[in-house]
Amino acid sequence: MRDSQTIRTAIFVGVAVVAVLLASVSRPRIPRATPENLVGQELFPDFKDPLAAVSLEIIKYDESTATLQPFKVALVNNRWSIPSHENYPADAKDQLAEAAASLIGLKILELVTDRPGDHALYGVVDPDPRNLEAGTTGVGMRVVMRDKDDQELLNLVIGKEVPGREGLRYVRRGRQDPVFVVAIKTDKLSTRFEDWIERDLLQLNTWDIRQVAIDDYSIDIVQGVQIPRSRIVLDYDDREVKWTLRQCQNYENGQWVERLLAEDEELDTTKLNDMKWALDDLKIVDVRRKPAGMTANLRELGEIKFDPETRQSLADRGFYPVRVGNRLELLSSEGEVTVVMKDGVQYVLRFGGIAAGSRGTGGGGEGEAAGTGTNRYLFVMAEFNQAAIPAPELEELPELPPEVGDSGGTTGSAPAAGEGALGESEPGKAPTDGNGEGGAQEATETLGAATENRIEGSTNLSSPEGREDASAGNPEQASGTTDAGQKPADDGQKPDQKTEEGKPDTPSVEELKKKREEIEKENKRKLEEYEEKVKKGQERVRELNQRFAEWYYVISDEVYRKIRLGRADIVRKKTKVEDTATSEVKSEASPAESSEMTTPAGSETTTAPSEDAQGVTTQEAEEARPASSMAPAPDETSAAEEASAKIQGTGAEETPNTVPPDSEM
């Protein structure tokens, strides 16, 4: 009985097993996804919106140095920044969207392999530091994009180009083995720091440059002294597109020696224009963050407080506080350049030491070596130089008769240039003269030191007012014309002669008062316009220092050599062709003209006055010429040299400044 039950049980179990097997065999099968089945499909089908990407991380591997080169740009605290470069501000919104758009819709064209051992062959080894060893080859570039919730939108390893098939590359998804061929462009996936930042660092317009001063010196750290080399001041006329050498001194045998242009020398305008464009397009390759205390002082006060942390940070990068007179000034290991703009903004660029280990342009374009060339630190500040803004020329009020009780004079006066100037320790002065005409422009200022640079001004002959002043001082130039452009009729009438009505030809009191009101109104307008320019210039300086205060910049040696020039760089011998042409002109010119043409810039010649056919002496004609066409005479720069010597804290034969001892540093 038990045996029959056991047999029946076994039969039931057998039937059940067969039924299960039959069900398993007969059920519908879902095809398994294989790499072969992915051909023709999108590599990242869920990535559709390029604006969803808020971060991009790119990691490259330099096989020659066996080092990784990470680069990341992301939206940090609602601001586009570069976390791989200490969160330096990035101009990345559009570029990140373009990079994301270039990776959307990538279609798989071929399956190459699904074996991990083949990754090195196709250059798709993941640049993961945990898995890399010295001598590893075939390492690819990893690209990761994330959304606002830090979720991966894309994780891709990009390898070598497919031989003979332009625009195609080997790629694989991160953490997956299959290697595919896709059509992909990598030009938007730049790891060049300069490609992701605001390119216009100084934000200046080359047409607004008024003057450039180059203070060429170095610091001997071992001896603790400043080594001066030269001081150069160059004026730039944007109307004539012309450079003029205002001052040039070399430090020779312990004293400053004037070295203006000789007869056979001229300015190398190519070098000067290259400098101008390098300033306009100042390229930085890396940055370093300044100490928080230094940043706060620069932002709030526009000055440097030399506390121990600041001193050490500066010294590490080739910048040193040096005592000049009774105060400390910031000097740099390789000199400085000051650029004065028409709006009073004054840029001070100090060149420091070599920036070792800068992240620079490493991993930039294809085929470009990482970190090539020498990079140097740059310290940038903005100051306000009020003397660069011509003060208004106020018209003198006509006098009222004595019985009215007003002795005349001018209404108001232009404020002294430099009052309240931000970024200048000693304001410049631009007073009006006794009659209120042109005095502000006659204030002489110099540009050569770090925080007390000045600009030497003169009556602006490029403006209508300046030309009128020049004509007023030169009767021959004025040619005796009236304001209406007509010669006055010479009827022999004396100034005191009465008119036909028998009354003096003088305005009435009412007419004088009306005229005074008109002049007062116009003078007030000029003053308000001037004050508005000053206000805008000061505000501009504050804005720039907000940008500059936080960072040491790193520039390439190429950019450094274009900007920090010496006399040997900006002066060249005149070419033979030009000498021949000059000789021909001389042969056709009058003796006086020939003498003038051969006079070197910055020199004076004395010739006996000669009279031309019209009865005008050459001396009078020379005086009538616009000042802008005359080479600067040595006495014109004497005040500038004196001010510069005071600024530098040295006399003509003083020894160079010395770096304070360690107790001072």
Least confidently predicted of 59-68, 273-282, 641-650: 641-650
Q: Which residue in 236, 243, 276, 267 sits closest to 572, CA to CA?
A: 267
Secondary structure (DSSP) of 89-129: E---HHHHHHHHHHHTTPBP-EEEE--GGGHHHHT-B---T
Tens-place pLDDT, residues 442-489: 333 333 333 333 333 333 333 344 434 434 444 444 344 444 344 444
Residue 272, pLDDT above cutoff 90? yes
- The helix/strand/coil state of 616 is coil
Residue 215 domain-assigned (yes or no): yes
595 and 664 co-located in one domain = yes
71 and 178 co-located in one domain = yes
Confidence at 2, pLDDT banded by 50, 70, 90:
low
Please report, as a single letter, which amino acid is at residue 617. T
Q: Model's pTM, two decimal places?
A: 0.65
Expressed in percent and rounded to 5, the helix, strand and coil fractions of the chain are 30, 25, 45
Residue 54 domain-assigned (yes or no): yes
Residue 127 domain-assigned (yes or no): yes
Residue 365, pLDDT above cutoff 80? no
- Which are the contacts of 347, defined by CB distance < 8 A and separation ≥ 6? 202, 204, 279, 338, 339, 341, 380, 381, 382, 544
Secondary structure (DSSP) of 457-524: ----TTSHHHHHHHHHT-HHHHTT--TTSSPPP-----TT---TTSS-S---HHHHHHHHHHHHHHHH
Res 585: pLDDT: 44
Residue 503 domain-assigned (yes or no): no
Q: Which residue in 388, 368, 366 sits closest to 454, CA to CA?
A: 388
Least confidently predicted of 98-102, 172-176, 298-302, 522-526: 298-302
Residue 573, pLDDT above cutoff 70? yes
181 and 58 co-located in one domain = yes
Domain that holds residue 365: 200-388+446-453+551-606+616-665
Backbone torsions φ then ψ of 130, nearest 5 degrees: -70, -20
What mean pLDDT, rounded, does the chain reach?
Answer: 74
- How many whole angstroms separate alpha carbon 386 and alpha carbon 404? 39
185 and 296 co-located in one domain = no
Q: Over pLDDT 70: what percentage of the chain?
A: 63
Bigger pLDDT: 278 vs 454: 278
187 and 306 co-located in one domain = no
Bigger pLDDT: 223 vs 185: 185
Residue 644, pLDDT above cutoff 80? no
204 and 212 in contact (C-beta within 8 Å)?
A: no
Last-in-domain residue among 142, 164, 196: 196
Res 322: pLDDT: 81
559 and 589 co-located in one domain = yes
C-alpha of 611 from chain center: 51
- How many whole angstroms separate alpha carbon 181 and alpha carbon 171? 6
Residue 631, pLDDT above cutoff 90? no
Residue 469 domain-assigned (yes or no): no
Confidence at 192, pLDDT banded by 50, 70, 90:
confident
Confidence at 17, pLDDT banded by 50, 70, 90:
low
384 and 238 co-located in one domain = yes
Instruction: Quote the tokens at residue 156.
Output: 């891709």
Tens-place pLDDT, residues 370-391: 345 689 999 999 999 999 999 9
204 and 163 co-located in one domain = no
160 and 60 co-located in one domain = yes
- Which are the contacts of 285, defined by CB distance < 8 A and separation ≥ 6? 193, 194, 358, 360, 361, 375, 554, 555, 556
309 and 254 co-located in one domain = yes
Q: Over pLDDT 90: what percentage of the chain?
A: 41
Last-in-domain residue among 146, 161, 196: 196
DSSP category for residue 298: H
Tens-place pLDDT, residues 28-59: 544 444 666 788 899 999 999 988 999 999 99
Last-in-domain residue among 196, 221, 240: 196
- How many whole angstroms separate alpha carbon 355 and alpha carbon 317? 7
Residue 104 domain-assigned (yes or no): yes
Confidence at 242, pLDDT banded by 50, 70, 90:
very high
Q: How many domains are contained in the chain?
A: 2
Res 24: pLDDT: 60
Res 630: pLDDT: 35
Residue 641, pLDDT above cutoff 70? no
- The helix/strand/coil state of 322 is strand
Confidence at 106, pLDDT banded by 50, 70, 90:
very high
Bigger pLDDT: 151 vs 443: 151
DSSP category for residue 627: G
Confidence at 26, pLDDT banded by 50, 70, 90:
low
Residue 646 domain-assigned (yes or no): yes
Residue 222 domain-assigned (yes or no): yes
Q: Which residue in 201, 186, 187, 193 sits closest to 84, CA to CA?
A: 193
168 and 213 co-located in one domain = no
237 and 187 co-located in one domain = no
